[in-house]
Amino acid sequence: MGRIDKHNYYLDLAEGVLARGTCLRRNHGAIIVKNDEIIATGYAGAPRGRKNCVDLGFCKREKLNIPRGERYELCRSVHAEQNAIISARRADMIGATMYLVGKDKKTGELATNTESCTMCKRVTINSGISTVIIRNTQKDYRIVNVNEYIENDDSME
């Protein structure tokens, strides 16, 4: 068995982080890495001191049949990307890479077409992170240059 490549190594770690997530729909794990050092980690969960969806036993967005990608202001959680960014100094994030993995809570399968929401893209832009690497399958991933979030401003649609 050969040595795992660096991107999949960090994606595996992000996948471990998502196991702490408290979302009933989809959990994500994020790791910020710079110069081969982990700067911060994050997973989806309610703000400190508030009850998580798993504690309440329901997801408001699911209860209202809100489709994926819509009405995130109703989401109880702080997203994985946001939690990772909150936990790091901006000076450490400039030029860093964020690794992102998502899993469907009900099936336990990797989430297909994982993508940061519009709010997380904004926070990522301002953090100074330059690259986001997103797991597609257990071995395949895509690399997103954060400048694409700026050039393809989905908040203007």
Q: Which of 81, 109, 115, 148 is catalytic?
A: 81
Q: Which long-range contacts (CB under 8 A, 24 or more apart) does 52-55 make?
A: 52/22, 52/76, 52/77, 53/22, 53/23, 53/24, 53/77, 54/22, 54/23, 54/24, 55/22
At residue 109, what are phi and psi to the nearest 5 degrees?
-80, 155
44 token code pair: 């989806």
Query: What 3-state DSSP class applies to 129?
Result: coil
| Residues 9, 124: Cα–Cα separation, whole Å | 22
Question: By 3-state DSSP, what share of the chain in percent is helix, strand and coil, each rounded to 5?
Answer: 35, 25, 45
Count the Cβ atoms, other than its own, within 10 Å of residue 20: 15
Active site residue 81: yes
DSSP state of 143: E
Residues designated as active site: 81
